[in-house]
Structure 1
Amino acid sequence: MHIKDSDKLHISKLVVCSPNLVAALVGIGYTSQILMCQPGALSWSVRAYDRCKRFEDMSFYQGKLYALTKGENLLVVNISGDQSTGDPQVSRIGQVIKGDPWYSIAFTNNAMLCKKLYLVESCGAMLMVRRTIVCRVPESGLYGEAVAGWSAFEVFKADFEHSRWVSVSTVGANQVLFLGRRCSRAVSLSPYGVLGDQISFLDDDEENRMEYGYDKENASFGTYDIRSGGFSSVHPEISWKRCDEMRLAAWLFPHD
């Protein structure tokens, strides 16, 4: 791998594509490579000549593995078997959608606009959710500290026929998007009397806090209503007091 410091390696995303194939984004901070393995195998496979990329997310959709870069480029990952060992490996990475340039915006008060991206399937469509965050950079410039309580969300649908992202104003009257770096999913909660067209989100990025930075006392954890543009706390009684606790936050879904 091009990543030399193995002591700092971490898995930012793990996707079970099938009973015989698992894919992972492994890297340091926000740069990573795509690794493959079979469940029960003794090792992972990786194309050593693939340079590290700023992958934001990865998803298995309609029988294919897709990866999303920081530049909002959607890539399809073609997988084949090694001719000598039969182990799965990445044979080719092709671009399906080219994203529009988006740059962080710095302000005079040491604040800047940053973004996080998520892939999630909803009602048969692949969605990209762009979350814009206000970050505050301290005097040292080494780490950012998130300004509590401010985020904005935009949702786009993948138009594979025309190779573009299409902005959408709804994710479905009965759909709630649960976003997290480890796992994102669309769930219908209408049987439980919960309205749809909402986005619930976690700040669970571990090493990505080097870029965004999170104030452990005010880490974001809430729900955004797409129709009204308002925010609410998921569990108001929870007060995150330790950064380690925030890193371990995750969505747990029932087995299908």
Structure 2
Amino acid sequence: MDGACTLVSPFSMSTTMVLPRLSTAEPFSMRKLVVCSPNLVAAVVGAGWTRKLALCRPGAASWVVIAHDQLKSLEDMVWFRGRLYALHGDYGRLLSVSIGEDRDTGEPTLSRVDILIEGSGWDFAGSPLQYLLESDGALLMVRREDPNMQDLFIGEDFGCYVGLGLERATRFKVFQADMVRSRWMELSSVGEDRVLFVQGWCSRAVRVPDRCKDHVTGDRIFFVNDAAARGYNCLYYRKNVSFYCSVYDMRKRRSHMYLGTKVRPLKGFPVAWLFRGSEPGCMNN
């Protein structure tokens, strides 16, 4: 309630890092947090089209909130090969964010923002959800088309109409960043030994070990079929909409329910993936 942030392990509940208070925004407005290094933490804060990038040193007195036109409306971000990359909400625009250090205070500062890939139009109906993640040394963007959900413009505000049920299947498109040619290349596969877990602000690519291939096959995308993916501000959806784990098969180009057990978010918090194991990107449990 006082804005203080503490990073803990969801499995052991042991404190791993104490972060400064986020005084420039309410605590619940923190969308994503990335530990870039032991000395640098980045976060996306804010709501709607007013999302901003915030930086801090663990143990510092405060966050540094970046006011930069290119860093508004961020969809996702990831630390990749020693650099922070961000996905803008404008048609898949990929940004490279260079972070420096203030010589006097030692606080992290924004050095520059480069547009690596310009956004382009898509053929999905409505506005797709977009996820940014690293997979086997490549930077991927996953676009999700959910025909059960569409944006509505009401007066000066954007609302969300959500269909109840799974009568229309969710589809995905996966793109790999081509840094040399500054473009997104569409992929037909994510790898026979890879699966992707996607969800707003918490996506990850996972390698399927040989011992698990009898139970989990690769080249698939796991996702939460949450009709309220954009409706957490609505009390009705927080209380009444159920959540199902589903999977999209990249080879068959269709999705189906993976687990039939319903899940509901705790006190309105979004459903999120949690990953365990010391080997990055490996399915251990």
TM-score normalised by L of structure 1? 0.82
In the TM superposition, what are the counterparts of 1:1-150 in structure 2 within 5 Å?
Answer: 6-7=25-26, 10-48=29-67, 50=69, 53-71=72-90, 72-102=92-122, 105=125, 113-134=126-147, 135=149, 142-146=159-163, 148-149=165-166, 150=169
Per-residue CA deviation, residues 121-161 of structure 1 (Å, 9 max, x unaligned), is 11111110010122256897843214533311000000000
Distance in structure 1 (CA, Å) of the matches to 2:274 and 2:227: 13
Q: Which deviates the most, 42-51 or 194-203?
A: 42-51
Deviation at 1:5, TM superposition (A): 8.6
1:114 alignment partner, SS class: coil
The answer to whether the Cα contact below 8 Å between 2:56 and 2:108 also exists between their aligned partners in 1 is yes
Q: AA paired with 2:141?
A: M
Aligned Cα root-mean-square deviation (Å): 3.2
Q: Which deviates the most, 243-252 or 74-83?
A: 243-252
1:214–1:30 Cα change, 3 Å: farther
Q: AA paired with 1:253?
A: R
Deviation at 1:7, TM superposition (A): 4.2
2:231 alignment partner, SS class: helix
Unmatched 5+ stretches in structure 2: 1-22, 280-285
Q: Which deviates the most, 206-215 or 166-175?
A: 206-215
Per-residue CA deviation, residues 148-180 of structure 1 (Å, 9 max, x unaligned), is 333110000000000000011011100000112
Q: AA paired with 1:15?
A: V
Q: AA paired with 1:93?
A: V
Which has the higher relative contact order, 1 or 2, with Cα contacts under 8 A spaced 6 or more apart?
A: 1
Distance in structure 2 (CA, Å) of the matches to 1:210 and 1:139: 17
Per-residue CA deviation, residues 47-106 of structure 1 (Å, 9 max, x unaligned), is 33547622110011111100001120000001010122011122211100012124874x
Q: AA paired with 1:133?
A: D
Quick check: 1:201 aligned with 2:258? no
Q: Which deviates the most, 36-45 or 57-66?
A: 36-45
Distance in structure 2 (CA, Å) of the matches to 1:123 and 1:52: 27
Distance in structure 2 (CA, Å) of the matches to 1:138 and 1:97: 28
The answer to whether the Cα contact below 8 Å between 2:197 and 2:221 also exists between their aligned partners in 1 is yes
Q: AA paired with 1:28?
A: A
Distance in structure 2 (CA, Å) of the matches to 1:50 and 1:228: 40
Aligned length: 245
Distance in structure 2 (CA, Å) of the matches to 1:205 and 1:252: 23
The answer to whether the Cα contact below 8 Å between 1:143 and 1:210 also exists between their aligned partners in 2 is no
Distance in structure 2 (CA, Å) of the matches to 1:143 and 1:243: 21
1:39–1:207 Cα change, 3 Å: farther
Distance in structure 2 (CA, Å) of the matches to 1:161 and 1:205: 38
1:117–1:143 Cα change, 3 Å: closer
1:44–1:203 Cα change, 3 Å: farther
1:12–1:137 Cα change, 3 Å: closer
The answer to whether the Cα contact below 8 Å between 2:129 and 2:143 also exists between their aligned partners in 1 is yes
1:179–1:46 Cα change, 3 Å: same
